[in-house]
Amino acid sequence: TDLKTLQSESIPVKFNNIVKRFVSHSGQKDFFAVKNVTLNIEPGQLVTVLGPSGCGKTTTLRMLAGFEMPTSGQIMIGDQDVTHTPPNKRNVGMVFQSYALFPHLTVFENVAYGLQVKKVSKTELLQRVQQVLMIMNLLELKDRMPASLSGGQQQRVALARAVVTEPKVLLFDEPLSNLDAKLREYMRDELRKIQQRLGITSLYVTHDQAEAMAISDKVVIMNKGEIEQMGTPWEIYAKPTSRFVADFMGKANFLPATVRQVEPSKLVLDLMGEILEVEKDQTFPVKNGNQVTCVIRPEFWHIDAEGKLKGKVTRATYLGNYVEYEVSLNKETIVVVDYQHYMRYGFYREGDDVQLSLKKERISILP
């Protein structure tokens, strides 16, 4: 279909030192929901804010929407300072968890609503609604009422309604939380495809790690009102810069090591008596002799006859598409997940000796 007419120029979004304080009326201390957030979203990118309940995700999103006013700091959409601009003047589209469709309007009328408010001419309205319904695969449903649609269909209508006014920015507040697991996976791919095709700069809030990994250009991990780490899904997962991020994104092994050599692009570590090279990409200064903690995801280990690290299996659990081993290495117990090896060579059992290896870009270092 003709997407070009829907595509407008992508623009950046910036949060500069944003603070949000909620003033207490009950004599308790004021609460800082967002502490000092600086965040750039590049034109056309989708950035996900991820973090535990209460970390300030929704508040951050609501400030970009204009529903909450920051206590201090500045929000820019393109080159416009919108910090004090009311929501309806920001050119922002929103998709909520609850769909928030008008129950008494048909699909067509729901999608058309934003254009009517904008007093777009009848011919243009017809044409634009038709076009968005076509892109979203909703044409057949255009005369149906929201209550007669499935959750996934309702969420597609909500997305159609959000993009029909050609917003510069799209905001997603846990849009897939009401869908069952299978549909959620399908919809997240749909949603990402449409966001990319339209090139609309987007901020997406979720507490689902897999969802964030799957749809984002960048992931922001928030903790207690502050950004803990921002990076590509790979960086956030494989190269966490704090224990909080490492734990939040899944299982991880934390192992003590000693720095033996510092070179411009790599570090040589002593990891439990074995000398290992790792990429030098940590965010803190290191010196020869420093004690560090290696963060290694369970599936980053290779069970490998050439592996230098020798351990003993203490537990083996078959989980359908992978095997999870507990392996004792020196005084440490680690978790190793194997997706490949067992299919060719079979399972290891409790008491078996194994050798493990590791690629150098798969280790992250914490102080």
Instruction: Please give the residue ranges that form the binding site for ligand ATP (CB under 6 A).
Output: 22, 31, 33, 51, 53-59, 207
Q: Which is nearer to ligand ATP, 27 or 103 (CB)?
A: 27
Q: How far apart are CA 27 and CA 22, in angstroms?
A: 12
Rg (C-alpha) for the chain, rounded Å, is 25
Q: Which is nearer to ligand ATP, 55 or 269 (CB)?
A: 55
Q: Which is nearer to ligand ATP, 68 or 332 (CB)?
A: 68
Q: How far is the CB of 244 from ligand ATP (least distance, A)?
A: 14
Handedness of CA 63, 66, 70, 73 (dihedral sign): positive
Q: Among 195, 197, 208, 203, which Cα is nearest to 171's?
A: 203
Q: How far is the CB of 31 from ligand ATP (least distance, A)?
A: 5
CB 295 within 8 A of CB 363: yes
Q: How far is the CB of 66 from ligand ATP (least distance, A)?
A: 15
Q: How far apart are CA 98 and CA 206, in angstroms?
A: 14
Q: How far is the CB of 308 from ligand ATP (least distance, A)?
A: 43
Q: How far is the CB of 163 from ligand ATP (least distance, A)?
A: 24
Q: Which is nearer to ligand ATP, 50 or 138 (CB)?
A: 50
Q: How far apart are CA 87 and CA 96, in angstroms?
A: 15
Q: Which is nearer to ligand ATP, 39 or 132 (CB)?
A: 39
Instruction: Spell out the alpha helix ranges (H) of 167-262.
Output: 181-198, 209-215, 233-238, 243-248
Q: How far is the CB of 243 from ligand ATP (least distance, A)?
A: 20
Tokens of 326: 């507990």
Q: Among 317, 328, 353, which Cα is nearest to 255's?
A: 328
- For residue 299, what is the DSSP state? G
Q: Which is nearer to ligand ATP, 52 or 367 (CB)?
A: 52
